[in-house]
Every structure is written in C-alpha cells, then in structure tokens.
Structure 1
C-alpha cells in the first residue's frame, strides 16, 4: 500500500504492468484522476480495501462513468505476509458478487488450501497467494488446487 498512488502509475505502466490496484483509503480525493491515468497507461484499474473499511466505500468507484474493473478485498492488514485469513471478510465478497455479477473480485490475505473454498464460494474470481504457494514443498500443486477451487466457484455464480 502506498500513500501517493498517482506517483506510481506512469513508472509501472512504462515497466509493462497490466493492472494497477490502489487502496480506496489512500485515494479518497483523487480516484477519478487516478483511474483515468491508469487507463491512459494501458493498465486495468482496480481498487483495494482494508478489512476495516466499509464495502460501500468502493461503490462509487465501481459505478463511476469511468469505473475500476476490479475490487480487491483484503482479508488481512496490508504489508505483512503470513497473517491469518479473516473469514468474516467473505461477506464483503458476497455483497459485491450479488451487486455486480460480472465484476472481477479479488481476495488477498491468508489464502491457501484450507481457505480457498470460502473465498471461491463467496464469489472471488481472482486470488492472491503468497506464503501458501512459496512456502509449499510443491508450489505447483497448491496453485492447481487454488485454480480448481476458483473455477468451481465461478460455475455456481
């Protein structure tokens, strides 16, 4: 999480990034300009929200004339790997999936073999996994398991 996301749009675009996700908490005053700049650099804009932020804070960004294309629901506090998954954050995913059926909804924090089904069944179709993949003896097996769970979850939504 950065405090001035506008400062990073151009450098990441030039570096070849395909997407740029910013925190709603860090962009309350300039999200419209931020989305426009992200798209002008050829990237897909997304917005993230921390566990304590109400889901309603992202509605204006999803419903804007020039909207974000993905919402990232954090299930841990940003910045520290290896934290425990917060299952109560899946209510935010369910609300988003019901309200915006075609929206990309990403979940980040504590995802692995024991938590992926909760995220997938709630409606997440994009997953961020760090410790569970990189700490696994067989990372490819974990990736396959995560992918299969998300694909199964999408069939029910």
Structure 2
C-alpha cells in the first residue's frame, strides 16, 4: 500500500500539541490534530515513501538539508511514531526556496541518484522525485515567522 504525504501549515505555538498528538495511543491522533489545527498547503498524489529517499539525496547531492529544523520536536515525534515527519521553517525558506525550485532539477539525474541510493531501478523514480520536489517547494513558500509546515509521509 502506498504511503500518503501531507503538507500542513501549523502555528509555531502548536508544536507542543503536535508532539502530544504524535505520542497519543490513538494511531490517528497525529493526522487528526494536523487536520484540525492546520491548513493543507500543497497537493501531492504520489507515494509518500519517496521522501525517505529524496531527503537524503537533497542533503547529500544538492546541499539542501530539510531534516534538521526543530530537532527537539522531531526527536520526540520520531520516538513516538513510525511516520516520517519533518518541519519546514522560515529559516529553511530563506536558505533553500530558490535552490528547491523544480526547474533546478532534472528527472533523469534524479532517477540515477535514486538508483545509486537504493541500489534498485524503479521506473518513474526521477519523475516521482521531481513531483515531490515541486510539492516541497510549494509548501516551503508558505512558511513565515509564526508558521511552520509539518510534512508527514507514511
């Protein structure tokens, strides 16, 4: 079954409640909290599992590290859930928005990087990663000093 991915704009003041929802015994609590407290800011219909490959490739090959913002919050969430969660901030926007423009990437090159990373050929992997980059770019544009984007994939 394909994993979904969501991009939710959340008030920074709600990060503590986000952790509490992730730590709740109800496996739907995190998704429910995000749906109630946040606003969806990007559409992504692809398999959310692509982000587990895309994020390290962006960090290693393009110097775009989207997994280090809000480290303490993410550590608490990671401990409580199997879902990949990362948070995009205004600092990330300032650093990476221009670099993350989809026009800066080539699907063929992304496919090669995917194959190198996974040691597996996958038809359409480059296009899938390019689509995911587009969603990340769109979502990153929605951050500001008071709001973060919570990305979940799983």
The structure whose residues are more often helix, as a share, is 2
TM-score w.r.t. length of structure 1: 0.28
